Amino acid sequence: MFKSLIPLSIILIGLLSCSESDTNDLDSSVEFNQLKVSFKGSIQLEIENNIGMLGQYYTVDAYSGNILAADATNQQLLVFASDGQLLNKYGQRGFGPGEFEQIYSFTFDEDSGVAAFDMVKNSILWFNENGELKTEFKVDSGFNIMPDELFIKDGKVFIPAFEIQHINEPESSPLFLVYDQYGNLIAKQGTHPKYSFPIIASSLLLDDGNHGYYVSRSSYNIYKINLNDNQIHSYTNYQPKWFSPLEDNIAFGVTREEANKASEGKSFSSLVRSDSEIIHLYVNLTYDFFRTKSILDRDYFIVMYDDELNYLGETALDYPLLFSFKDKIYLLKNDDPDNFVIDYYTVQ
């Protein structure tokens, strides 16, 4: 199930925290490496006529050898075989138990099933492998949820979050809320770096051990954080040459056209996890995107790191990155419901 990418050289600081000045001195020691992307095959998903596949979020991931996707029209999760055949549906649009008002993200593992976050209900809906609802519970209202990524590990769901009362002291807010399968909040893990602005955190990842990876939209630095002692284990502040920060504060009162022009050519980013690498995905906004509103008209770049944030290489992508699974990346080639195609590639 893995989603997200990276670039950069790493400064290993044991269990000591980084100072703010450390993160602002951009690393210029990285030797550029052009990654080779090789086409391996295509999957055409069996999309029904009334399915508005993925909506604006394009949430797709690997799931026990299959493909799991969100249907934004009918508000349900769809399971496809590796050949694109539709196998199962989880949930439906509605207000009752096991029903979705707005799916935002999901996660899974083979033992625990599928958990999804409903933004409107502010709830986690947890299904077993057959698509039957196991439990549904609300997330603590004192937290601003950053639900681009959820994680299941050892029968618990980890939810990236920011505690609202600590808006001026992010280092006092946990990175993850941990709930058991009965909806009990059993732990708060990690803390936000004090020099970051977590409300606009771009992405969080959880590894298979006790570390989280954090990238902030305000700095685009990546941090590997030890969740046991809340210390920064390593970080990177490498920025590729085609990177241009997206302005978070565009002047109030400007027209839509002026706002679009100010954002044109600028980047935002997120993290994707592969089996053995971290991928930092950069998305550059383009003139064509503001005209068509299609994610196929944005520009995509990735920087790859190992799990200690050592730089491996970088490259442009022809299509949007959906997820990474078993050392392959899966890109959205066509989002037409009559011809919904995912291409997959190796990266070296």
> In the chain, what are the domain boundaries?
11-347
Q: How far does CA 131 lie from the centroid of its chain?
A: 23
Q: What is the C-alpha to C-alpha distance for residues 121 and 104, in angstroms, rounded to an integer? A: 11
Q: What is the C-alpha to C-alpha distance for residues 39 and 50, in angstroms, rounded to an integer? A: 31
**In the chain, what's the furthest Cα-to-Cα distance?**
55
Q: How far does CA 214 lie from the centroid of its chain?
A: 11
Among 81, 76, 71, smallest CA distance to 51 is for 71
Other CB atoms closer than 10 Å to residue 142's CB: what's the count?
A: 10
From first to last of its 348 residues, the chain has per-residue pLDDT tens of 444 322 222 112 222 233 333 444 556 678 899 999 999 999 998 877 655 555 444 467 777 788 888 888 889 898 889 899 988 889 999 999 999 999 888 888 778 889 999 989 999 999 988 889 999 999 988 888 776 678 888 889 988 888 888 877 878 888 889 999 899 999 988 887 765 554 445 577 888 778 888 887 667 889 888 888 878 888 898 988 877 766 544 454 556 676 666 666 677 788 888 888 999 998 888 888 888 878 888 899 999 999 999 999 999 999 999 889 888 999 999 877 778 899 999 999
pLDDT of 207: 80
Q: Which two tokens stand for residue 65?
A: 């050898």
Class of residue 106 by CB neighbours under 10 A (exposed 0-12, middle 13-18, buried 19+) = buried
Q: What is the DSSP string of 223-259?
A: EEEETTT--EEEEE----TT--BPPS-PPTT--HHHH
Q: What is the C-alpha to C-alpha distance for residues 75 and 78, in angstroms, rounded to an integer? A: 10
Strands 176-180 and 156-163, by their bridges, are antiparallel
Q: What is the C-alpha to C-alpha distance for residues 279 and 284, in angstroms, rounded to an integer? A: 16
Query: What's the CATH number of domain 11-347, 3.30.930.10, 3.40.1360.10, 3.90.1150.10, 2.120.10.30?
Result: 2.120.10.30
pLDDT of 49: 64
Among 345, 175, 179, smallest CA distance to 274 is for 345
Among 183, 161, 158, 181, smallest CA distance to 170 is for 161
Enter the DSSP assignment of 34. Answer: B
Q: What is the C-alpha to C-alpha distance for residues 301 and 40, in angstroms, rounded to an integer? A: 19
Rg, Å, the chain Cα set: 20
Other CB atoms closer than 10 Å to residue 257's CB: what's the count?
A: 9
At 341, which amino acid appears? V
